[in-house]
Chain A
């Protein structure tokens, strides 16, 4: 059966719909313009006419080679051909990281995130909050990570049914249903070898049969009846320095992204209070929902009933207005000669403000101009590798010895006949300093209320380089 009917005529655009077989419309669009008429035949699904108002319509998981290996539709099925628009954008972008997260197609919006070499691509049809969708997609990826230990194509394929059950449990008609790990784990048990053996023997199931206790309480992040023989609460204060340092060693921009990761294994319903020596440093904070905001506003302490297990208690941000210490300096000289196809490079790294601690895990990554063919360098400490295709030089230094500063020097050879590179290579520094929070933040004490048992407590500090860039 093939029949044509006029669906609508808006200004210069006439749209005809032809029903080819049940469910699919082909849409014929005739554009009338001064330059003549153009006709486009666009297939799309009938659902497009119906305007569904849900948030996330469908989810596609796409692997690095560009294949859809999982699709989940919360309402009606949308053909995976909708992903073609995404693939087109993917092709245009040089690297997968550069694909714009929000894409517009004639009938849908594609909102995607890139996690662990996979694209999580969601299809939405109506006006939604893209942040909502992006946050949700990250939550899905986090959940996979949490359940399976990693978030890769293999592991998702290996746990397809659990994945599908999880997705169904996380979203209902586009509304997030249960995204808290504690709730999900009661609804759907995470796979482990022991359980799958037991299940096979006893015919048991990995689906919880009762309503999670925490699902509707005002503390959905914690379940009832948690019990441990050893009660412990550990906190990691991790700070990352984001900085841009210019040629002359001046700090153009620096800030600290801090996060307090917690690992709390306490029985019952513990009520914790974490206080800092110098809470004034924290003027820009975001909390896990468990933190009581009022207490923070009035007393500058973190008061909370913790989720069970690992979670991020707080992230904070020490802005560029406060002085940010830069732990290392880099003396560099990279130059290309006008005559002959070569250049020289000379890099030295030394300690700057390390508060008396040792800088470890030091490495320097340099993105070379495209025309740099090979490098011939000598490092006084550590090893270097040069990726010929990506033009990335990585110098792995290790521990920084203030008495004997590591240097890397030698020559660069450039493709012959090409003008000398104009762009300046940029250096990225990676480092780690144990037992130091570079902002100076310090936990003063942790108090436990509501439960009466002995608790092992501990706080660890570590400073890392986040996005630490030195310009040349």
Chain B
């Protein structure tokens, strides 16, 4: 006897029959009838008309019948809200049943009935169930809170269920903890700003304890939750890692990958020289390899994630190349992913093996896969320079097969190889030209035309070849047309005598007979260039091209970081941030990897840059500020630190020791923008005053994979009106892994706005990739002008005139004054007078800020005591 009997129908009409059976007196018949109803429901038939009859069967002692009715209710309550109310009483009663199974079942089902009227009745039973003595009921109730929140968030908050849920994190039963975490995470997802999962070391400890004891699914919830936590320091980070690593040996691959996520994230905080760091790296490889022996669907997700992991930490899998070798019967989606990772892992050490494999794949059946394999050979050549020659000869072998799509792919990648290694493999051009006629794909045709144009001087019949393409100019795709135009112009510039006619022809085709604006524009530009200044045309068209970068398909570092935080999710499969594609994700927070233990916290720089602009202070305020904020040593502590080094704000130069004044260049150089925050651009630098000119001395380093150009810089308004005196002089494009030192002269005539701290400077640097913002602090000494030496009389008079409120006193400790005077003068702090009173040396100094504010100082030195007392006076000269 099977359930298929439930599908048989009779002539009278199924619904009618069922109705009669549901109202039957016989229990057995009733149950069979409900089963028939459920069976119809499962295949998508509409049996909602039976609602009242089915609900009537609800009050029963038979658990199976009850379950079936509940199943039905969940499906149809939404369409029959008024009828569903009838069921409420039974639910409430069931929530008090002595059998925990029934209590849990009732609370679970009630949560699934998405009818507003019913949810009101749900609150009381739910509150009881959350505190039920049986953990099974509590765990079910925890999930119910999440369900209820989805229906009516306000109600859940008003009823205080969220707090109860938070309490459940400390429950004695690990399964309850896991479900509470899952429910809270779900609720938190729809309220990104609520601080629901307030993770602190205590809760983390509870979660880690529960992690060992709950079910595999619970472990996933807990691990995903742990991944959102930012440990306080590297020690905490390590201890969490230690407790998470056993999960790597779990049979459930989702547990493994969630554990990998936690480890990858927390590893960021560990110092690289730590022994444990190395151990952890070693421990990560085997579980990742194991994932590849699972079912193909799991393999696919694992591979997409491994792709991210090898980009972030290639060292983990560098010895495991072989597991990514493609097997004949792998599904195509697995094959393509494996190929991608093989390229990423390719290095000089294993390139021979990789190439042998790729060559093997190029003879497979699947066209997409073969194409990708051929392309991969080209990528190897570009990535591993030593292998370029072997790659080229492999590609030539493949061209000899004359298999059409193989030849076309090979030509496309050879073009790339030419761009990476110019003037090295031109000997193969002859072979390529033999296959000219078989090329029918635009990309391959364009590549071939590019090659002919680029090496026109070495191909004797270049004009004939290009002319042959020109015949069907209008049938070509835009890509080919553009390429053909450029190639013929190149040819003309190289061999002007024979090709004049050809170039005329292509220019008129492009400008007069084409309706493609890009093509027309390019045609006109060439035409005018050639007609006005052929020499300039030569310089432009035949200019040396930047070498193509190693890997163009690397994920941009900030995105990669975010994706690493999302290992195991859909985002990691699509390699897109979750905010980019998940519907209804309300304001997803961008996750970031924690900073390494000793690196500056760059994210706070961004925060400073976002700070709202302050009101421009009046001169008097500024004065007070200089006095109260910066001259008093007590304020040095709590200034919002941009990074540890810059903490020595404005006047700290005095508090921090005089040596810092003259050692600015070497001591104060620091990284303003780390590469990972600016798409590969790293900016470090310092400020200096040289020969009366304030300079910003920067080092720009390109740590990305592509060339950077078009640099420009701008300052936000700042306290002293600092502004660039000229454009940023970066004339040559910045190639990958190249650094350039730039000196930017500054003036102080820019717009003024009071900043906090006073010497804060917000800078925007633009390049061809994006605009990056950072803020830095400059030593106030750069603002001390050269004519800050005050006449003695003036000094004396002024000293007396300055009111007391403009006075500030502090101590400098451990300083050696022998060379102080000259050092100070180097920084435009001039010693006006010196006298000795009661065994104390007094030094009187003056300095003048670029905005006309005078600072007068008295340095008092007790003989034999390395501590000095400084009295500073501020004076604003009326101008």
Contacts and interface: CB of A to CB of B under 8 A. Distances in A.
Contact of B251 (A97, A132, A315): A315
Nearest to B584: A51
B67 A125 contact: no
A321 B4 contact: no
B249 A293 contact: yes
A288 to B, nearest CB: 6
A253 B298 contact: no
Interface in B38-85: 38-39, 42-44, 62-65, 67-68, 71, 75, 78
Interface in B157-183: 173-175, 179, 182
Nearest to B149: A53
B323 A255 contact: yes
Contacts of B298: 131, 134-135
Contacts of A136: 217
A207 B64 contact: yes
Contact of B63 (A104, A209, A285): A209
B101 interface: yes
Interface stretch (A168-176, A223-231, A263-271, A381-389): A168-176
Nearest to B291: A131
Given A134-B297, A289-B216, A126 B63 contact: no
Interface stretch (B108-116, B674-682, B827-835, B841-849): B108-116
Interface in B200-218: 213, 215-217
A279 interface: no
A330 interface: no
Contacts of B108: 172
Nearest to B250: A286
Contacts of A75: 112, 114
B2 A158 contact: yes
B278 interface: no
Interface string B135-169: 11001100110110010000000000000000000
Which of A162, A175, A467 has most B Cβ within 10 Å?
Answer: A175
Nearest to A73: B75
A136 B298 CA distance: 11
A206 B246 CA distance: 39
Contacts of A206: 64
Given A98-B331, A161-B39, A317 B293 contact: yes
B43 A69 contact: yes
Contact of B28 (A128, A168, A203): A203
A52 B63 contact: no
Given A172-B143, A289-B216, A252 B332 contact: no
Nearest to B336: A100
Contacts of B328: 367, 426, 428, 469
A82 interface: no
A75 B6 CA distance: 25
Interface stretch (A106-114, A343-351, A438-446): A106-114
Interface stretch (A5-13, A210-218, A356-364, A449-457): A210-218
Contact of A52 (B67, B78, B150, B403): B150
Interface stretch (B254-262, B636-644, B687-695): B254-262
A211 B332 contact: no
Contact of A101 (B75, B258, B287, B296): B296
Interface residues of A, number: 108
A262 to B, nearest CB: 13
A470 to B, nearest CB: 10
B574 interface: yes
Nearest to A129: B568
B538 interface: no
Given A100-B333, A126-B584, A289-B251, A242 B327 contact: yes
Contacts of A180: 215
B845 to A, nearest CB: 60
B220 interface: yes
B573 A211 contact: no
Contacts of B801: none
- Chain B: interface residue count, which band? 35 or more
A131 B301 contact: yes
B363 interface: yes
Interface in A21-78: 48-54, 68-77
B112 A173 contact: yes
Interface string A148-190: 0000000001111111110010001101100110000000000
A17 interface: no
A129 B570 CA distance: 6
A102 interface: yes
A355 B54 CA distance: 67
Nearest to B286: A284
Contacts of B28: 203
Interface string A88-102: 000001000110111
Which of B7, B147, B251, B322 has most A Cβ within 10 Å?
Answer: B251
A312 B213 CA distance: 19
B583 A286 contact: no
Contacts of A426: 328
A286 B256 contact: yes
A286 B3 contact: no
A471 B360 CA distance: 9
Interface string B448-491: 00000000000000000000000000000000000000000000
A53 B257 contact: no
B511 interface: no
Nearest to A240: B293
A287 interface: yes
B401 interface: yes
A162 B571 contact: no
Contact of B38 (A104, A164, A203): A164
Given A80-B44, A97-B296, A157 B569 contact: no
A173 B568 contact: no
Contacts of B67: 165, 168, 207
B663 interface: no
Given A289-B216, A317-B290, A126 B582 contact: yes
Contacts of B78: 76
A102 B253 contact: no
Contacts of B186: 53-54
B131 interface: no
Which of A72, A130, A162 has most B Cβ within 10 Å?
Answer: A130
A216 B332 CA distance: 42
Nearest to A133: B254
A435 interface: no
A80 B45 CA distance: 12
| A-B interface, 3 closest residue pairs, ranked by CB to CB distance from nearest | A51-B584, A158-B2, A284-B286
Interface of A: 48-54, 68-77, 80, 93, 97-98, 100-102, 104, 107, 109, 112-114, 124-132, 134-136, 138, 157-165, 168, 172-173, 175-176, 179-180, 196, 200, 203, 205-211, 215-216, 218, 220, 242, 244, 246, 252-253, 255, 257, 283-289, 293-294, 296-297, 312, 315, 317, 319-321, 367, 369-370, 422-424, 426, 428, 467, 469, 471
Interface of B: 1-4, 6-7, 27-28, 31, 35, 38-39, 42-44, 62-65, 67-68, 71, 75, 78, 99-101, 108, 111-112, 114, 134-136, 139-140, 143-144, 146-147, 150, 173-175, 179, 182, 186-187, 189-190, 213, 215-217, 220, 224, 246, 249-254, 256-258, 286-287, 289-290, 293, 295-298, 300-302, 319-320, 322-323, 325, 327-329, 331-333, 353, 356-357, 360, 363-365, 401, 403, 566, 568-571, 573-574, 578, 581-586, 588
Given A131-B253, A319-B289, A467-B327, 17 more contacts: A53-B187, A69-B43, A97-B331, A102-B570, A127-B566, A127-B571, A160-B3, A162-B3, A164-B39, A165-B67, A172-B140, A173-B144, A205-B62, A205-B64, A244-B325, A315-B293, A320-B322
24 contacts: A49-B584, A51-B583, A71-B44, A129-B220, A134-B295, A157-B2, A157-B3, A157-B4, A165-B67, A205-B65, A207-B63, A207-B64, A216-B136, A244-B327, A255-B323, A286-B249, A286-B251, A289-B251, A294-B246, A296-B249, A315-B290, A317-B290, A423-B365, A424-B363
